Chains A and B, each alone.
Chain A
Amino acid sequence: DTEVTQTPKHLVMGMTNKKSLKCEQHMGHRAMYWYKQKAKKPPELMFVYSYEKLSINESVPSRFSPECPNSSLLNLHLHALQPEDSALYLCASSHDWTSTDTQYFGPGTRLTVL
């Protein structure tokens, strides 16, 4: 099983809303990632969690707040977003945070901020 699941698949929210994106994997992977992807662009790394601890924050605005409640789950809490935050948000996981370890991506959440 190499599946990473993400919910919801689509999300529309206003700039004053609070919402959360969820990601789950049951492959025993200890590294999990959030990426943001704009149309016709490659994914851009936002956060990396390794063993449930935040290892990398790529200078992401505080209106994006990640959370890793356990080794299988990764959340991204959203608050006071801007229309330019509309994008495909991808979750990925890998066995460990090493150079030879392959990342597996989920299907993404298509976020629209009105």
Chain B
Amino acid sequence: GQQLNQSPQSMFIQEGEDVSMNCTSSSIFNTWLWYKQDPGEGPVLLIALYKAGELTSNGRLTAQFGITRKDSFLNISASIPSDVGIYFCAGQNNNNDMRFGAGTRLTVKP
């Protein structure tokens, strides 16, 4: 099946630093999504990308849909303590079967 490789697995950064994480796939996807999950809660959608090459921002978050349709990245600028959590990428194909990456655990030190 289609596997997503998400990296890094974890990050420990200082408040105010920028963060970058990415996802790659062996197959193409029609849609790329980025979710954030806090402990004991469900994933919350951050950004959805629908077109190859698309670059979308949501506040301090920026994500891009790779031109090959096999990758995506998420950047967080000027991190703050509430950015702590697990970030999941997800790719969707035509039957709405969504595949998740393994997640990036972000820790922000004040």
B45 contacts A99, C-beta separation under 8 Å: no
Q: Check B45–A102 contact: CB distance below 8 A.
A: yes
Given contacts A40-B103, A41-B102, A42-B102, contact A101 B96 (CB under 8 A): yes
Interface size on B, residues (CB 8 A): 25
Given contacts A97-B96, A101-B96, contact A106 B45 (CB under 8 A): no
Q: Within the assembled complex, what's the spacing in Å between the Cα atoms of A106 and B45? A: 11
From A90, A99, A106, A110, contact of B96 by CB (8 A): A99
B98 touches A105 (CB 8 A): no
Say whether B66 faces chain A, with CB atoms less than 8 Å apart.
Answer: no
Give the complex CA separation of A38 and B103 in angstroms. Answer: 13
Instruction: Render B97-110 as a binary contact track against A, CB cut-off 8 A, 1 for contact.
Output: 11011110100000
Are A99 and B41 neighbours in the complex by a CB distance under 8 Å?
no
Q: Residue-by-residue, is A33-66 near B (CB-CB < 8 Å gives 1, otherwise 0)?
A: 0000000111101001000000010000000000
Give the interface SS of chain B, mostly helix, strand, loop or mixed.
loop
Of the 9-residue stretches B14-22, B54-62, B69-77, B86-94, which lies at the interface with chain A?
B86-94
Interface size counted on chain A using CB atoms at 8 A:
27
Cα–Cα, bound, A45→B35 (Å): 16
With contact pairs A99-B92, A99-B96 given, residues A110 and B42 touching in the complex (Cβ less than 8 Å) = no
Shortest A50–chain B CB gap in Å is 9
**Ordered nearest first, which 7 A-B pairs have the shortest CB separation?**
A42-B100, A105-B42, A99-B30, A99-B94, A97-B96, A108-B42, A105-B43
